[in-house]
């Protein structure tokens, strides 16, 4: 294969650093850092972090949440090597206002993007709020994306604001739960429905890669008449219970379960 067309792309999501406590969070952080280091050793040409690496993230003017320094340092080291790192913000780290880009050198994405490697066209993102239903969540997310709650939270002292956010996180499904409940069938998956609907608009997409769901999934989408091959929906799972990820090497996409 032509080396100019050969790529090694790595995907992972939902580390949720900060829950359920410092000890468990540190263990997961070290595992994730080892995964990143191994991706570099294997010759990664690009890394996509699909959101919710932190259970809570907010950038004050001169303060960021405590913890995660090993992860942040490793990401900075990777971008310093010239390896592109893409950060797709999730619902737990959507309050990012420039620090990750300026200090770590990542490329930040707030909506799904399309990339093509070795002839494989992929749509990539965190995945929250996509697909039918979840009207309440979608309204809440839109509110949190507005300037009003961001300004109010910014006015709180960091110790108070972060303590409040961490307390709410302890009751969050992210402390071990699955966003959307247990997997029942493809037809019950909002993201699967989103992929199928998007595929009807753009049948050239070969695979959809998301996080958020906290369950590693590799599902075949219904083949359309205009397609030569069926498309796939891959969910990278999480680094709370599954320690799963995905990689795309020389045009072959693989879901890796921990």
Relative to beta strand 216-220, strand 207-210 is: unpaired
In whole angstroms, what separates CA 235 from the centre of its chain?
Answer: 10
CA dihedral 48, 51, 57, 62 (to 10 degrees): 20
pLDDT beyond 70 at 219: yes
pLDDT beyond 90 at 75: yes
How many alpha carbons fall within 13 Å on the CB side of residue 236?
A: 30
User: Cβ(53)–Cβ(204) under 8 Å?
Assistant: no
Q: At 4, is the pLDDT very low, low, confident or very high (cuts 50, 70, 90)?
A: low
Residue 169: predicted pLDDT: 61
pLDDT beyond 80 at 214: yes
- Sequence-distant (6+) residues with CB within 8 A of 83 are 40, 44, 45, 46, 47
Q: Residue 90 to residues 53, 220, 229: CA-CA distances in angstroms? A: 8, 24, 30
- DSSP state string for 154-214: HHS-HHHHHHHHHHHHHTSGGGT--TT-S---GGG-HHHHHHHHHHHH-TT--EEEE-SSS
User: Cβ(10)–Cβ(47) under 8 Å?
Assistant: yes
Domain tally, the chain:
1
- Mean of pLDDT values over 142-165: 74
Residue 181: predicted pLDDT: 77
Q: Residue 76 to residues 16, 133, 238: CA-CA distances in angstroms? A: 19, 38, 22
| Closest by CA position to 93, among listed 81, 106, 82 | 106
- CATH number for the domain spanning 227: value is 3.60.21.10
Mean pLDDT of the residues in the chain: 86
The continuous run of DSSP H or E covering 152 comes out as helix 147-155
Residue 20: predicted pLDDT: 82
Residue 175: predicted pLDDT: 44
* Residue bearing tokens 């690009």: 46
Q: Domain containing 14: what range?
A: 3-256
Q: At 170, is the pLDDT very low, low, confident or very high (cuts 50, 70, 90)?
A: low
Q: At 1, is the pLDDT very low, low, confident or very high (cuts 50, 70, 90)?
A: very low
Residue 104 phi/psi, 5-degree rounding, is -100, -20
- Mean of pLDDT values over 72-97: 93
Q: At 56, is the pLDDT very low, low, confident or very high (cuts 50, 70, 90)?
A: confident
């Amino acid at each position: 294969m032509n080396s100019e067309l050969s790529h090694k792309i790595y995907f992972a999501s939902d580390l949720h650093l900060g829950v359920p406590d410092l000890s468990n969070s540190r263990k997961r952080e070290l595992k994730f850092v080892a995964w990143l280091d191994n991706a570099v050793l294997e010759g990664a040409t690009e890394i996509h972090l699909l959101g919710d690496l932190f259970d809570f993230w907010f950038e004050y003017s001169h303060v960021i949440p405590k913890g995660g320094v090993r992860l942040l340092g490793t990401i900075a080291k990777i971008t310093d090597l010239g390896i592109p790192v893409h950060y797709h913000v999730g619902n737990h780290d959507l309050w990012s206002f420039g620090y990750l880009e300026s200090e770590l050198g990542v490329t930040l994405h707030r909506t799904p993007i399309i990339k093509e490697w070795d002839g494989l066209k992929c749509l990539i993102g965190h995945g929250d709020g996509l697909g039918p239903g979840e009207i309440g969540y979608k309204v809440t997310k839109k509110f949190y994306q507005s300037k009003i709650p961001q300004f109010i939270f910014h006015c709180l002292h960091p110790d108070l604001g972060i303590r409040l956010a961490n307390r709410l996180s302890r009751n969050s499904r992210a402390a071990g739960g699955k966003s959307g409940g247990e997997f029942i069938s493809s037809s019950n998956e909002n993201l699967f429905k989103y992929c199928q609907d998007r595929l009807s608009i753009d049948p050239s997409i070969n695979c959809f890669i998301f996080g958020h769901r906290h369950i590693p999934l590799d599902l075949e989408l219904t083949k359309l008449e205009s397609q030569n091959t069926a498309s796939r929906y891959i969910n990278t799972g999480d680094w709370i219970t599954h320690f799963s990820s995905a990689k795309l090497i020389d045009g072959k996409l693989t879901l890796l379960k921990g």
